[in-house]
Amino acid sequence: MGSVMPSTATDLRQANLTRALRAIHTAEADLTRAQLARELTCTRATAAALAADLQDLGLITVSETELTRRRGRPSTRLTPAATGPAVIAVEIGVTCVRLATVGLGGRLSAVESTALQNHDVDHVLGLARDMLRERLRSTPQPCVGVGIAVHGLVDQLSMTLVSAPNLGWDDTDVVAQLDLPPGLPVRMDNVAHLSALAESSRGRGRGFATVLYLHAAVGLGGALVLDGHPVRGRRGFAGEFGHLPLGRSEQPCRCGGWGCWELDVDQPALARAAGRPYTARTVATVARKVLADSTRGDQEARSAVDQVSALLGRGIGALINVHDPDLVVLACHAADLLASSPQIVVEQARRGSMSAHRPALPPIEPAALDADGALVGAADSLFDFLVESPTALTGRTAASAAPLDRLPS
């Protein structure tokens, strides 16, 4: 995020606290004070002072590590505080509602999942509301916001769920119906965008400048991530790759279009290809059973998996032509297809791409965070703003830092 240039010593101190907290929050593993100093390009003494301030605020803990074989003082480890502020992340899915408490550092705890009985908006959001109320009541950590991941198009200007075809919802004010405490910061976005954010900053995409992320379950979506930021588009609708007319199917899509790619590659597509009956509640289980049967010698299941994997690969090849990514990351059902038919997915991606790409096709790899990506991303979308004001995160003031105004909700 951009920030205003500090104009006073106090402002500079606050800016450095922010940089230090962000470095610790986004680090792949616990940092030492020496590593923090290198990350911030400052002296070890400055890094030590910043770490002490963050510990005073209750945001991190500073502990000595075991002595190494080298002589000298032991290193210190900077760890996000287990009792520090947390974001409650909720994923409103097609088959269930998932909830987790996420602290600084992106660590999930108390992950909870409740199956949906139907897609009625009152049932689904009522369930999510009850789960959130109980978590807000019972979590021992101070809650500094709620991050919401939804399977649908979210207008980032109005924060409205414009369309969720697989739930049958249109123009739904999700945040209002969750009845959250007044003033509590809230962020809501598409599952694929948030999963891509998490995967790029904490998962397989870490260190890559351009990542193409594809998430398939019931439907297929994704995001192009540039330097750690998903490309959301004018209203937040970018990344609906599953609705490109790359499919062979002549049936109408839930989005209102025809011949959409997702109709040939998602979980219902695999169930249909294998001739297995399914319902909205059973389709994920049926698709996983087809994948499992394909590894046990079931020829019909094997043929179905290979067919759907080939169509997935050809679509990936087309997207490589468009975006020229450094890495392609596949999550959930798409990752399952890659695991089951890796050679088919890669070869069809190669055949679907321009000849210029074929000598150095970008790697196609499974997501590291997979099913938890949306929850981690939902929390990080909030923490990305909240860490800008370390003192406001706790309502306390470090000995050498000035308090900031509270973040707007």
What would the pLDDT profile of 176-218 be if each residue is shown by its tens digit?
999 999 999 999 999 999 999 999 989 999 999 999 999 999 8
31 and 135 assigned to the same domain? no
Residue 13, domain member (yes or no) = yes
- For the residues 103-122, what does the mean pLDDT come to? 93
Which of 39, 62, 81 is the last residue in one of the domains? 81
Structure tokens given for 21: 């907290």
Q: pLDDT category, 157, cuts 50, 70, 90?
A: confident
- The yes-or-no verdict on residue 73 having pLDDT over 70 is no
Number of domains in the chain: 3
Structure tokens given for 335: 């990752």
DSSP state of 157: T
Total residues belonging to the chain: 409
Residue 72 is part of which domain span? 9-81
Considering 69-73, 236-240, 325-329, the range whose residues carry the highest mean pLDDT is: 325-329
SS3 193: helix
- The yes-or-no verdict on residue 331 having pLDDT over 90 is yes
Render the burial of 129-148: b for 16+ CB within 10 Å, e for the rest: bebbeebeeeeebebbbbbb
346 and 211 assigned to the same domain? yes
73 and 94 assigned to the same domain? no
178 and 100 assigned to the same domain? yes
342 and 216 assigned to the same domain? yes
- 100: β partners: 89
Which of 81, 104, 128 is the last residue in one of the domains? 81
Closest alpha carbon to 409 in 224, 175, 195: 175
Q: pLDDT category, 22, cuts 50, 70, 90?
A: very high
- What pTM, to 2 d.p., does this model score? 0.85
Residue 200, domain member (yes or no) = no
Residue 70 confidence (pLDDT)? 53
CATH number of the domain that residue 115 is part of? 3.30.420.40
Are 108 and 375 in contact, with CB atoms under 8 Å apart? Answer: yes
Q: Would residue 102 be called left, alpha or beta, if left means φ above 0 and alpha means ψ between -120 and 50 degrees?
A: beta
CA angle 164, 154, 362 (to 5 degrees): 90
58 and 140 assigned to the same domain? no
63 and 77 assigned to the same domain? yes
Residue 178 confidence (pLDDT)? 95
Lowest mean pLDDT among 21-35, 58-72, 140-154, 360-374: 58-72
CA distances 82 to 26, 49, 108, 140, Å, are: 16, 21, 11, 10
182 and 225 assigned to the same domain? no
137 and 25 assigned to the same domain? no
Residue 402, domain member (yes or no) = no
First CA to last CA distance, the chain: 17
148 and 289 assigned to the same domain? no
Which of 37, 55, 81 is the last residue in one of the domains? 81
Chain mean pLDDT for the chain:
89
Rounded CA-CA distance 164/244 in Å is 17
Residue 111, domain member (yes or no) = yes
- The yes-or-no verdict on residue 299 having pLDDT over 50 is yes
Residue 182 makes CB contacts below 8 A (sequence gap 6+) with none
